[in-house]
Structure 1
Amino acid sequence: MKTVIVIGGGLVGALHACFMAKRGYKVDIYEMRDDIRTMEVVRGRSINLALSVRGREALRRVGVEDQIVKFGIPMYSRMIHDRDGKRRPIPYGKKDEYIMSIDRRHLNEILLTEAEKFPNVSTHFEHKVVECNFSAGTVTFQKKDGSSVTVTADLIVGCDGAYSKVRQEMMKKTLLDYEQVFIPHGYMELNMPPTPQDKYAMEVNYLHIWARNEYMMIALPNYDRSYTVTLFMPFEIFKTLTTENAVLNFFKDNFADSIPLLGEKALIETVIKNKALPMVTVKCSPYHVKDRVVIMGDAAHAMVPFYGQGMNCGFEDCIVFADLLDKHEGDFAATLSEFTSYRSIDAKAMCDLAFYNYIEMRQSVNSRLFLLRKKVDNFLFWLFPNTWIPLYTTVSFSRKRYHECIKNKEWQDKVIQRAMYLSIPTFAVAGYYIYKYLERLDVPIYEKLVQLAENFRPDQKW
């Protein structure tokens, strides 16, 4: 029986253990932290998750999709909160297409429990990686009591997050290209409790967004009728919110409608006592070392959370890896090599898309041109459903490779641009002949058109 060590008992690690266990491998999960199922509070990992097609397919393959989604909240649209308190929805796709708000901890607990149901899976908590020997296939761990243990396996899988120790070991001992970028914006999490009637404080089936160009706030619904609210903005602005008046005035100016829902006292206390946390993008290559080691999820491609694809991308890693194992009949060397070449191009593309979507969420949703383009895309999607598929639809509601999603969007942009170039002279010529024709007619319609043209204002309502 082949043996697999999965380092990291988070979302991707626990799921990948299920995939490997289904193949009959002996799997050992090693996690640096304590078992989250026994912890009262899990810190630093609480941004809500948006589960979409890629992630759901991975969960379906190990038989836990139904168990997960029954505690999820569908979100069919963005709900934009303007400064004046008005709200306007922007649908994600068709009426039956939605992403799902999922509680990170609950999902992680279910996946760990599911992994432990396999008789060939063992879990080991409070084991910190000290060293990896890639040639021998060994990993040395330090336990909570200070003692160490060295274990051997046919395959070592690093699913230990954006600050991966396995990746650090790869960087020391192999030629690994690596790029890490911290964006100048941080995040802080707030809580919007249920109403006194134990109902949601806002419309439930939406991802709520307060888009303020330079920064934004979002809110995702939870199963317990609360909202997880996250404020994203430059660290320099966070640093100014050090007094009660500064916090209250900032929220009154930017997010006034949220204050009574968050609770003024709780809001001030949370912002003053907590520090904004950083967000990092990680790109690297290769993802493997010979036939012994591979990294997946955030260890291979950490991304900012603005497209809701971090978890979905990591879960899709598990699908791609399993499919390649099938293709190569369990040959680790061939599988790992193709996993790097196949997956790295898509993961890097998704990292770029994730950052691009931050600009869209905090700024573009306020643009009339952006909203017009969304309507054009949706109309063309309705007209040519197999040809013109919007970017968000391909990313969130399909398994189309991420880099192909970008190529598809670039093609659409060129088509729109060329259509505009062609339409301007076409309308100009048509307008000229219509004008000359009406000029020869002694009818009131011509006078009306001239009057409208003379009195036209850009903000005029028709």
Structure 2
Amino acid sequence: MTAAAAPHPNATPTAASEAGADSRPSSTAIVGGGPTGLAVALMLARRGYRDISVMERLNQPPPPSSPKWDNAERSYNLGIGGRGQVALAKLGAVDRVLDWCAEAVGRKDWNPQTPDGAERIFSERKYKTKVIARDRLASCLLEEIREKHSDAVTVRFDVECTGAKWLEPGGKGSGATLSIRDTSGGETSELTADFVVAADGVKSAIRDALEGDKALTRALSGGDVRVKRFPRVNEFAYKVVPFKLDAGWRNDFNYSHRTKGGITLEALPTKEGGQVGVLLFRPDDERILGLKDAADGRALFEELFPQFAGMVKDEAYERLALQEVSRLPAFSYTGPVLHLGKSAVLLGDAIKSVKPYFGLGVNTAFEDCIALDRCLEETGDDLAAALPLYSRRRAPEAKDLVELSRGFDRTGVAGFFGFILPLILDSVFHNALPKVFAPNTIAFLQREGITFRGIRRRKGLDRVMQGVVLMAAGVAAVSALRVGAGALGPLVASAFAAIR
């Protein structure tokens, strides 16, 4: 990689980043070129970093304007909420991304309790959810980088990092030599960089390398890179199916149909006016695994989702039957250390993995990027100070997000007392006293500007206050019954006396 140069003319470094120009690494390698990795590249380029190399194992996505995005199998849809939109605005990329998003202003649900469906408009939200395919989002960020920062950032596709050789403790430099493999041809090579950013997802090679070398992380970071991996429970797999809504249906809704048999259809709109449906099911469900052709797919929809059956084309049913099964990720988080000295840092799905039910994965990954930007700003781009600060701030957030999200994933009695009952109580108390009690946890998670640790503490306080109110109400009810019984006693005695 090349030596450092003057800041890029399109960069917008602040006073602190200007002062820290000499502290910036001469070369940076970002492992993972999805939305998270490209967002980090954009942030660093805006700060004046140079010689940034991004490596992505998948092939290059089409341009945002390509008609190929009408193909749901290119990538699944993501919802960008307030958290993500605020972060994209700070990166200067929000307008480009939103230009290619659909909007979801409401939701319609069918389930065994509401077979006719129930609609809800999210009028209380400051930010409307913007919906975009995952790879289209990456394509927007790639376009932003190539238009404004092409001499600072190089993005390579069809390459993956398979390992890293780190600087030995006590060395004068920083960084690592990465082992690179071409995923299309199999050729191998090496790349050396002063600073490594791991944005390579839940199966991060960089994170796993750090987790396996405790002596190194303790020597350079003062602690361990530990991954807490939760067992797979309440597991779901998925397939995608595109369809076009009939006239009269709103295309700015998230549609959800949960069946009694455990199969759920979740659909989000596309910019082109269609819907991308995600069929969620148990990994061993033969009703899905046994689909062989379009006729089988249509029969399944006519049985379970009759309102949508006629909206799916035969070729989409055929692809549904032949499509490989994908699995939702298991819950995990990394901490307490998310960095290696001044050589490397982890973010995005490499530090936390949650199920995508509530659209927090990419939104919090963008928040990780902004948190790193803030740490660099506060320390004048001194990585030796910025990276430990980032670990102290983001490791607790990763843990809290995962633990909050796991509470939504329980089933049976635990699910009722840990998820359903708190939602009911939150709705009742918040509607009655909105200035005293916070909204339910799901709604609270979508709010920008509040940390997940803050949410946990606030909901803990709500539970205490709810308990006090319910206990007081119970005591008052018992007292009222006793008073009533005391007043009723003489009347009953008089009545018996009169009868005698």
Residue 22 of structure 1 is aligned with which of 46, 49, 54? 46
| Corresponding residue number in structure 1 for 2:283 | 235
* Deviation of the 1:91 alpha carbon: 5.0
* Deviation of the 1:219 alpha carbon: 1.0
Residue 112 of structure 1 is aligned with which of 135, 138, 142? 142
- The alpha-carbon distance between structure 1 residues 88 and 168, as it changes in their structure 2 partners (threshold 3 A), is same
| Corresponding residue number in structure 2 for 1:379 | 431
Paired residues of 1:303 and 1:351 also in contact (CA < 8 A): yes
| Corresponding residue number in structure 2 for 1:276 | 325
* Deviation of the 1:235 alpha carbon: 1.0
- The alpha-carbon distance between structure 1 residues 440 and 172, as it changes in their structure 2 partners (threshold 3 A), is closer
Rounded Cα–Cα distance in structure 1 between residues aligned with 2:484 and 2:315: 64
| Corresponding residue number in structure 2 for 1:457 | none
- The alpha-carbon distance between structure 1 residues 331 and 151, as it changes in their structure 2 partners (threshold 3 A), is same
Q: What letter is aligned with 1:81? A: W
Rounded Cα–Cα distance in structure 1 between residues aligned with 2:433 and 2:194: 47
Deviates further, 368-377 or 296-305: 368-377
Paired residues of 1:283 and 1:300 also in contact (CA < 8 A): yes
Rounded Cα–Cα distance in structure 2 between residues aligned with 1:369 and 1:249: 36
Paired residues of 1:241 and 1:271 also in contact (CA < 8 A): no
- The alpha-carbon distance between structure 1 residues 161 and 427, as it changes in their structure 2 partners (threshold 3 A), is same
State the identity %.
Answer: 18
| Corresponding residue number in structure 1 for 2:101 | 72
* Deviation of the 1:36 alpha carbon: 1.5
Matched, 1:388 2:428: no
Matched, 1:164 2:204: yes
| Corresponding residue number in structure 2 for 1:225 | 273
1:261 aligns to what SS in structure 2? coil
* Deviation of the 1:369 alpha carbon: 6.0
Rounded Cα–Cα distance in structure 1 between residues aligned with 2:420 and 2:368: 37
* Deviation of the 1:332 alpha carbon: 0.8
Paired residues of 1:381 and 1:390 also in contact (CA < 8 A): no
- The alpha-carbon distance between structure 1 residues 431 and 56, as it changes in their structure 2 partners (threshold 3 A), is same
> Which digits, 9 at most, give the CA deviation of each residue in 1:250-283, with x for residues without a partner?
54453332222335x4564344212321122332
Paired residues of 1:309 and 1:354 also in contact (CA < 8 A): no
> Which digits, 9 at most, give the CA deviation of each residue in 1:411-457, with x for residues without a partner?
2123223212211332454477689999999xxxxxxxxxxxxxxxx
| Corresponding residue number in structure 2 for 1:121 | 153
Rounded Cα–Cα distance in structure 1 between residues aligned with 2:281 and 2:306: 17
> Which digits, 9 at most, give the CA deviation of each residue in 1:14-47, with x for residues without a partner?
0100110111111121222222237968997722
- The alpha-carbon distance between structure 1 residues 179 and 436, as it changes in their structure 2 partners (threshold 3 A), is closer
* Deviation of the 1:370 alpha carbon: 7.0
Q: What letter is aligned with 1:123? A: V
Paired residues of 1:76 and 1:95 also in contact (CA < 8 A): no
- The alpha-carbon distance between structure 1 residues 374 and 252, as it changes in their structure 2 partners (threshold 3 A), is farther
| Corresponding residue number in structure 1 for 2:377 | 326
| Corresponding residue number in structure 2 for 1:313 | 364
Matched, 1:403 2:453: yes
> Which digits, 9 at most, give the CA deviation of each residue in 1:180-202, with x for residues without a partner?
4445211111112244xxx5x73
Matched, 1:295 2:346: yes
Deviates further, 117-126 or 216-225: 117-126
Please list, as runs of the form range in 1=range in 2, the aligned pairs for 1:23-422 lying within 5 A after superposition.
23-26=47-50, 27-37=52-62, 46-83=75-112, 85-90=115-120, 92=122, 94=124, 96-116=126-146, 117-118=148-149, 119-135=151-167, 137-143=176-182, 144-174=184-214, 175-180=224-229, 181-183=231-233, 184-195=235-246, 202-212=249-259, 214-238=262-286, 241-243=289-291, 250-263=300-313, 265-266=314-315, 268-280=317-329, 281-285=331-335, 286-358=337-409, 372-373=424-425, 375-380=427-432, 382-384=434-436, 388-422=438-472
Rounded Cα–Cα distance in structure 2 between residues aligned with 1:147 and 1:372: 56
> Which digits, 9 at most, give the CA deviation of each residue in 1:280-309, with x for residues without a partner?
233223321111011211122122111210
Rounded Cα–Cα distance in structure 2 between residues aligned with 1:343 and 1:158: 14
Paired residues of 2:426 and 2:438 also in contact (CA < 8 A): no
Q: What letter is aligned with 2:431? A: F
Rounded Cα–Cα distance in structure 1 between residues aligned with 2:142 and 2:358: 25
Rounded Cα–Cα distance in structure 2 between residues aligned with 1:243 and 1:5: 43
Q: What letter is aligned with 2:44? A: M
Paired residues of 1:77 and 1:206 also in contact (CA < 8 A): yes
Paired residues of 2:228 and 2:333 also in contact (CA < 8 A): yes
> Which digits, 9 at most, give the CA deviation of each residue in 1:68-120, with x for residues without a partner?
22332333333211357412134557165532222222211110111222131
Rounded Cα–Cα distance in structure 2 between residues aligned with 1:320 and 1:409: 24
- The alpha-carbon distance between structure 1 residues 432 and 168, as it changes in their structure 2 partners (threshold 3 A), is closer
TM-score by length of 2: 0.76
Rounded Cα–Cα distance in structure 2 between residues aligned with 1:43 and 1:164: 26
- The alpha-carbon distance between structure 1 residues 147 and 191, as it changes in their structure 2 partners (threshold 3 A), is closer
1:86 aligns to what SS in structure 2? strand
Rounded Cα–Cα distance in structure 1 between residues aligned with 2:212 and 2:378: 31
Could you say what the CA RMSD is over the residues aligned between the two structures, in angstroms? 3.3
Rounded Cα–Cα distance in structure 2 between residues aligned with 1:347 and 1:357: 16
Rounded Cα–Cα distance in structure 2 between residues aligned with 1:351 and 1:4: 29
- The alpha-carbon distance between structure 1 residues 243 and 349, as it changes in their structure 2 partners (threshold 3 A), is same
Q: What letter is aligned with 1:160? A: D
* Deviation of the 1:125 alpha carbon: 2.3
Deviates further, 268-277 or 292-301: 268-277
Kindly tell me the number of residue pairs found equivalent between the two proteins. 430
Rounded Cα–Cα distance in structure 2 between residues aligned with 1:232 and 1:255: 13
Rounded Cα–Cα distance in structure 1 between residues aligned with 2:427 and 2:190: 58
TM-score by length of 1: 0.82
* Deviation of the 1:338 alpha carbon: 2.2
- The alpha-carbon distance between structure 1 residues 98 and 66, as it changes in their structure 2 partners (threshold 3 A), is same
> Which digits, 9 at most, give the CA deviation of each residue in 1:375-411, with x for residues without a partner?
4254146444xx6344234311222111221222222
Rounded Cα–Cα distance in structure 1 between residues aligned with 2:297 and 2:315: 11
1:400 aligns to what SS in structure 2? coil
Paired residues of 2:426 and 2:439 also in contact (CA < 8 A): no
2:84 aligns to what SS in structure 1? helix
Q: What letter is aligned with 1:110? A: C
Paired residues of 1:328 and 1:335 also in contact (CA < 8 A): yes
- The alpha-carbon distance between structure 1 residues 380 and 206, as it changes in their structure 2 partners (threshold 3 A), is farther
> Which digits, 9 at most, give the CA deviation of each residue in 1:130-160, with x for residues without a partner?
4312215222323455544433222100111
Rounded Cα–Cα distance in structure 1 between residues aligned with 2:53 and 2:374: 21
Paired residues of 2:251 and 2:274 also in contact (CA < 8 A): no
